[in-house]
Structure 1
Amino acid sequence: MKIYGITGWKNCGKTGLMERLISEFCRRGLSVSTLKHAHHSTDVDHPGTDSHRHREAGAAEVILASPSRVAIMQELRDTPEPSFTELLARLRPVDLVLVEGFKRESHPKIEAYRTAAGQSLIAPQDTSIRAVASDIPLHLDRPVFDLDATEVIADFIAQEITL
């Protein structure tokens, strides 16, 4: 599996860029999965559902299956969060895994940057960031793309990882 990331600070356009890239790579006939890191506690289940009741009762893992999707919920309880590598290993093989977040990992990435977010660029201090997708022109030692230039960014990623 080929792996490429989109990183950046909150409200810099990561999720929108991810969504457009997923659509673009799928349009090109590739199979795509994603790995997203959340810094806050998150839950895809809701109180009152049978699966939530199973988890609340103490189940370490609950698989919820339907004709349209399967969700596997694993309770960490007092165990550490799985590593980036462990999470990738859980995915079924696909052509491309797009990763949102995971700033500190060494996989190749594009930084999403919006001036309105008021944050500094990560790229100057991080060599794993191969390019920046920005809402303003920037002068850097690596490629800078318009944040909305989805096809151009997808071409860059495909060339970088020989897709």
Structure 2
Amino acid sequence: MKVFSVVGYTKSGKTTTIESIIRELKKRRYSVGTVKDIHYEQFEMDTEGSNTHRHKQAGAELITARGFHETDILFQERLGIHRIASFYDVDYLILEGVSDSIVPKIVTADKVSDIEEKWDDTTFLISGKIADVMDDYKGYEAISAIKNVSRLVDIIEEKTFELLPDYDEACCNACGYSCRELCKRILKGQKKRQDCVIGQGHITLKINGQVITMVPFVQKILKNAILGVVGELEGYTSNGTITIDMQNDKYD
């Protein structure tokens, strides 16, 4: 699943750009999901006095409202992008207004100073209203999603990639770079997404069906612990496959 973010100030053409991108991706037969970051401290999807709000007030930690045409799941916390992305199974996940994750970014703007303020080293494209009056910015294309969405999505197909783990460099730099630096180099064509070693190990850990990513150091600890026990059992072979399905039951 490829992930990218579209960031920009209000009325810069951000949502219009995303709408055009979605339509073009769907035209190309991709499945698409979106995440909208809402920068409003008092925002709540639920309304005071509703039945689901009463559930929340009573102490429910996860609430689901199921209607005839949609199902809304309400978490009582702000989830990280990696946790949110785990609920999606689409070809492209578009983030609107999300700037705190290491993903390729499109900056929308209506003046150059807005580009400067939103720009960082993970930006790969300019769009929005300013693309009507300029063709590039510091060597990066400025493309109108209304006038030339085909070209814009061509670049999205070329540049975007699956989420990087976003680990602290002190925790993992097995590829030789921080996750942000690797993202930057992928966008410049100097590295590939496959250069991230996370997920390429020989151990897969799932908790409640969800794959848990592990840095190489943790994979090594888990592997050695398992082999230390299993290696002494009859039937063990060094080139075999080991499968462990453990139920986390509680006993008195």
TM interval, short-chain normalised: 0.7 to 0.9
- Matched with 1:75 is 76
Kept after mapping to 2: 8 A contact 1:132/1:143? yes
Question: What is the SS of the residue equivalent to 1:7?
Answer: strand
1 or 2, which has the higher strand percentage?
A: 1
For the aligned residues, what is the CA RMSD?
2.4
For 2:113 and 2:159, the matched residues in 1 are separated by: 27
Whichever residue aligns with residue 143 of structure 1, its letter is E
For 1:132 and 1:51, the matched residues in 2 are separated by: 41
The alpha carbon displacement at 1:50 in A equals 1.6
The answer to whether residue 18 in structure 2 is matched with residue 15 in structure 1 is no
Task: Name structure 2 gaps, 5 residues minimum.
Answer: 162-252
Answer with 150-159 or 128-137: which moved more.
150-159
- Matched with 1:130 is 124
Question: What is the SS of the residue equivalent to 2:59?
Answer: coil
- Matched with 2:159 is 160
Q: Which has the larger radius of gyration?
A: 2
Q: Deviations over 1:45-70 (max 9, x none)?
A: 22332212212322211111123211
The alpha carbon displacement at 1:8 in A equals 1.5
Taking structure 2 as the reference length, the TM-score comes to: 0.55
Q: Deviations over 1:85-120 (max 9, x none)?
A: 22222x2211110111122322111111113xx843
Kept after mapping to 2: 8 A contact 1:111/1:122? no
The answer to whether residue 144 in structure 2 is matched with residue 146 in structure 1 is yes
The alpha carbon displacement at 1:123 in A equals 7.6
The answer to whether residue 103 in structure 2 is matched with residue 102 in structure 1 is no
Question: What is the SS of the residue equivalent to 2:114?
Answer: coil
Answer with 51-60 or 25-34: which moved more.
51-60
Identity %: 23
Question: What is the SS of the residue equivalent to 2:143?
Answer: strand
For 1:43 and 1:129, the matched residues in 2 are separated by: 30
Structure with larger RCO (C-alpha < 8 A, sep 6+): 1
For 1:106 and 1:92, the matched residues in 2 are separated by: 18
Task: Name structure 1 gaps, 5 residues minimum.
Answer: none
For 1:103 and 1:139, the matched residues in 2 are separated by: 20
Kept after mapping to 2: 8 A contact 1:108/1:130? yes
Change (3 A) 1:88 1:122: farther
Moved over 6 A (4+): none
Change (3 A) 1:69 1:2: same
For 1:123 and 1:49, the matched residues in 2 are separated by: 40
For 2:99 and 2:113, the matched residues in 1 are separated by: 15
Q: Deviations over 1:27-82 (max 9, x none)?
A: 22111111121221322222332212212322211111123211100112xxxx32
